[in-house]
Each structure stands twice: as structure tokens, then as C-alpha cells.
Amino acid sequence: MREMRKWYKYFLDPLRRGRIYLPIDSNFYDHEKAMGGYKADDAYLSKSTFFNKYFWGYHLGRFECYDNFLRKHLKKDEDVLSIASGRCANELFLIEDGYKITCSDLKVFDSYKETKTLFPQFEFMEHDILNGPLYKKYDAVICLSLIYLFNEEKLLTFFRNVSNSLKIGGHLILDSAGSPDNLLSYLIHDVFLKYEMLGIRLIKFLLTGRLQGFVKKHHGYRRTDEEIIETAKQSGFELLHHENYAFTTEFKRSHLLNKAIKPNSIVEKTFKTMREC
């Protein structure tokens, strides 16, 4: 089995100098910050303002891709657990349509009260999936944009605990988040985006005379599809369905390419990988 590859992000810090290394996010508050916070705002005035801000078009349409796959593979009479739900936008959109989903994350998030007021049927609990399985067993588990944070040992634990939270014959719907590890994703993340940011830093230096700090942040891990499927197999999972979405997302991380690529353009496929095991 090939080694998973570390996924780095590069950015500038005007308040610091030199090269700075930031480790991977390791607690709920780091994750919350990385997601732009989970606080309530004006969007919580009504269901439509909530979905307009936090579902439709959010993160370049990531949630619409999830919704497409989830509706194909979840049944309304299934008892579903969502792990690492964050602000729970996808889950709430499905709950509104009659799906039975309990959300969870490491901690109760800031806008929990406002969410419950807007969606009284909303159920949420604190759970760290690395700490153990749920007491209750579910027909299905969904997990969107989490496992990129896990090294191999944690990924094994994740699959084992999810498997033990499912009824016999239950299924897991998983988004691996980020691009699969391959030559193209290596060239984008480890070469193009890095040197683009160094170029921006140089241009800023030439314009202002100030050299900003160059930050290398360990964002997570990239894996091939085969690596994830292989690890899942060790906990008794078998791959049932697999679709690729959001091809342009990785390119849109580039300052240069961002404006050139239209969202939902014809190449909007591949890269973000959703799997049903």
C-alpha cells in the first residue's frame, strides 16, 4: 500500500516574518475556525435565508454535490447518524424533506440554539468518532469532509468505530474531501499553489518593500481511492457505489485560475470523491 501524502496549504501572514509551519488542526476550536466559525447570524432568520447562505452554492457548490449523492443512497425510513456534521446544512436540508438524521460533532456548536429554534425536529449530540462507537446502532452513517484530517492509524479507528455503530447490513456514505492523491493533485498542491504563493509574496515585496511571513499549514492527508477502500475493508466494509464531483474545486484554490474557471463549468466532475461502503 502506498503512503498517504501530507496535504499542505500555503498563505501569507503580514504580521510575521520568514517561513512559518503550522501543524494540523487538532481540536474542535481549530476545526471551527477553519470552517469560518459556526456562529449564528442573520441567515438564521428563516429556513430559506439559512439555506440560501449555508447550502446553495456554499463552498463552490460542495453541499449540492453531497445532496445529489445522499438522496440517491439514503432512504427516508432509515435511521441515519451524521458524524462531523459541522453546521449541519446538508443534514438539515434532508431532514426538511423527511429524512431521519441525527447530527453529531466533537462539541455542541455555537449556533445550536438558533438551529433548534429554526428546525425543532433537529437532533444533535456530541461524539468523537475516534473515542469509540455509538451506543445505538444505525441503518446508515454519513460522514462528509472529515477523514482528510486522519492519519492511517486514526482512519483505521474511524472505520472500526463506524462499523460498530451500524446495524448488520448497514451502510456508510463517505466523502473523502479534497482530491485523491495522484500526479495532478501533487502538481497542483505541492508545486503550483506553493510557487504561486511565493510569487505573490515576491510581488508584494517589490511593491511595498515588506516581506510577509510565508506559512505552510499541514491541512490534512491525501490518499488514493484504493488506499481508502483497502482501509475500510479491514473493518468489514465493501464498496457499493462511488461517484466523483467538483473537479474545479482544487483549481479554484489558485489566485490565478480562480477567476478563469467558472463554477459549475462543464469540467465540474471528479476529484471530490464520495463513496458508499
Ligand X SMILES: C[S@@+](CC[C@H](N)C(=O)[O-])C[C@H]1O[C@@H](n2cnc3c(N)ncnc32)[C@H](O)[C@@H]1O
Cβ distance to ligand X smaller for residue 70 or 129: 129
Q: Which is nearer to ligand X, 144 or 277 (CB)?
A: 144
- Of 68, 90, 218, the residue nearest 145 (C-alpha): 90
**Taking CB under 6 A as the rule, does residue 92 contact ligand X?**
no
Query: Would you say 130 or 261 has its CB closer to ligand X?
Result: 130
The reply on whether position 64 binds ligand X by CB under 6 A is no
As a whole number of angstroms, the distance between CA 13 and CA 116 comes to 37
Contact between 123 and ligand X by CB under 6 A: the answer reads no
What does residue 233 show for φ and ψ, rounded to 5 degrees? -60, -35
Residues numbered 98 to 117 that lie near ligand X (CB under 6 A) are 105-106
Pairing relationship of beta strands 138-144 and 166-175 according to DSSP bridges: parallel
Cell of 232: 475500510
Q: Which of 78, 114, 128, 196 binds ligand X (CB under 6 A)?
A: 128
* Binding status of residue 162 toward ligand X by CB under 6 A: no
**Under rule CB under 6 A, residue 223 binds ligand X:** no
End-to-end CA distance of the chain: 19
Q: Is 51 in the site for ligand X (CB under 6 A)?
A: no
Nearer to ligand X, 122 or 214 (CB): 122
Q: Which residues contact 133 (CB under 8 A, 6 or more apart)?
A: 161, 162, 163, 164, 165
Taking CB under 6 A as the criterion, which residues in 235-264 touch ligand X?
A: none
92 versus 118: smaller Cβ distance to ligand X: 92
CA separation for the pair 137, 150 (Å, rounded): 23
156 binds ligand X (CB under 6 A): no
Q: Say if CB 93 and CB 165 are below 8 A apart.
A: no
Site of grid cell 463517505? 174
Contacts with ligand X: how many residues (CB under 6 A)?
16
Note the residues at the interface with ligand X (CB under 6 A): 28, 31, 35, 83-86, 105-106, 128-130, 144-146, 149
